[in-house]
Chains A and B, each alone.
Chain A
Amino acid sequence: MEAIKQLILATAPEAVLEEKAHLTVTVAPDDLRALATALKNDPASRFDFLIQLTGVDEGENFSVIYFMTSTDDMTRQLVVKTYTTDRENPVLPTVSDIWGTALLNEREVFGFLGIRFIGHPDMRHLFLTERWKGYPLRKDYDASREANPVDVTSYPMSDHSETWVKGKDGIQHEKIQLFEEDDYVLNIGPQHPATHGVLHFRTALDGEIIKKIDVNCGYIHRGIEKLSEGLTYPQILHFTDRLDYLSAHINRHALCICVEKAAGIEVTDRTEVIRTIMDELTRITSHLLSWATMCMDMGALTAFIYGMRDREKIMDIFEETTGGRLIQNYNVIGGVMADLHPDFQRKVKAFIPYMREKLKEYHQLYTGNVIAVNRMIGVGVLSKETAISYAVSGPVGRASGLSCDLRKIMPYSAYGKVEFKEIVRHEGDCMARYLNRLDEIEESLHILEQLIDAIPEGEYCVKTKPIIRLPEGEYFQRVEAARGEFGVYIQSRGDKTPWRLKFRSPSMALVSVMDTICRGAKVADLVTIGGSMDYVIPDIDR
């Protein structure tokens, strides 16, 4: 860490270093790009994985927080902050050429806070329409109905984007054409069976070959982060299940850990084990659904029904204990909502051998199928470099050879106590992603096997204060959700509500690489790649 501090001070002498939970560096905007480049390239730091990019309205100024880690050692983390005091016309330099994941994240910040990033090649709003008045995450935002009345007019989508560059005479504005004049642009989505939700790909085609994809998100943007700023922590919990609804339990777990750590609440061992078991069951349901829908996308409907059939077994187990099937609302701050159902252990124990049997069936039905193999091998290759640059993690990142399983790297809950393998493949194609998920189901079963008989006795939930106030500060929590790294960032000012709350969405990283890896592929491959990426739209849009 000392070497990193020296590096920072060497590149940006005016930077302010603070030792908080993570080393925090505050730099002036002018030094940001130099510092970012140095941090990424220097062998001592190699911060090549930008986990989060968050914009915050601090009151008098706007700041942007870059939370980064290194793929050499995922536990090495650093927070870089930059700020602008100009509230009228805020501008900051872009880092999108240093970390690819900033491309979409900076657009998000632009839409919500109105900060323009100089040099960003495509400065459009990501979630809101261009006609939206005001910037929602600013504290002086006018949320009244009159400011943004419900408009039912259909406006054509613009084929142009903008970019701001620093020229000789100040900041200049340039118009960019998204597609070429004679491109055949196919709208895949917002209502399309293969996007698994309301996502919109504007796909430029040359015959059947994809030239470019322009991703349009925001069709189910619900403003969860904005809503959270007005709600107490136990109330916010309910939103997490509705982000990535397929790993609902894991998302909620992340927020619970974050709040518990910040408020200094100790949970019992029983809670930790129950949460871990539930996490793994959720992961299995998620991977099963992913397998099923991927097969369906490729035209094998029977496989889809098989996957759904087995997923149903876990849903039934969930239902008994939590009362919910898709969205369980089970974790609460300090523990879990209710104790396990008496049948829980028996049913999970029966499920483990059943699922192992079915996994064999899946391989027989689909993995060896000659058409499936030809459709998946070598299709949509995501290189390790691209995966790192775009901060892709989870089964997709691990299929590209990136070891990024947070359960292994920084174990939380009961993951430190269990044995399991991290599944890493190096091909980076659809087949690797497909096999990774099936193998992860196997590993999850292995984890369940170890924990299900070792649930300690004790309280399932500790008593907490009715109103939870987090001490002033910034809190990060990273967990391994079914689709990759899910993160929670809370900036608290000592209130019962957060000042700023940000969810790091794994699906957004997945969808941001679609353009890169789909170029040159066929339309049919887009569907396969989309299935193998397995993004969940509410998680992107939030």
Chain B
Amino acid sequence: MSVDSVFVHKMWNDHELSRMVKGGVPFPMLSDGGGRVGSVYGVYLEDAGVEARGRFLIDPDGVIQGFEVLTPPVGRNVGETIRQFQAFQHVRKSKGTEAMPSGWKPGKLTLKPGPGLVGKVWEVWKTKMAFD
């Protein structure tokens, strides 16, 4: 979503993005003229008249599970967004019985919070696991 019109979205897709991604952009390119939706989401930069790089992770119930907002010059890390989706999907599948420690990715150790784990996380989770 950006403040550009759908006509400009079409031109950008057809003339540039479709040369980066085979078949063009697979998801809807939303237009937010005037930044009204962006204002509600807190990402509309009034002075510049554009929207910041905001990314909102919304679950199947419509609940915002996380967001990240960057100023224009730095791009996002799509891999991190996907990792967060995977982590929240895992939490949801476990019906909240499992928690994902720092650095978690699919296949790595999850934690099962409970009285027995209090003060014992250091025994099962090592700091280097945040970085590998």
The answer to whether A and B come from one shared complex is no
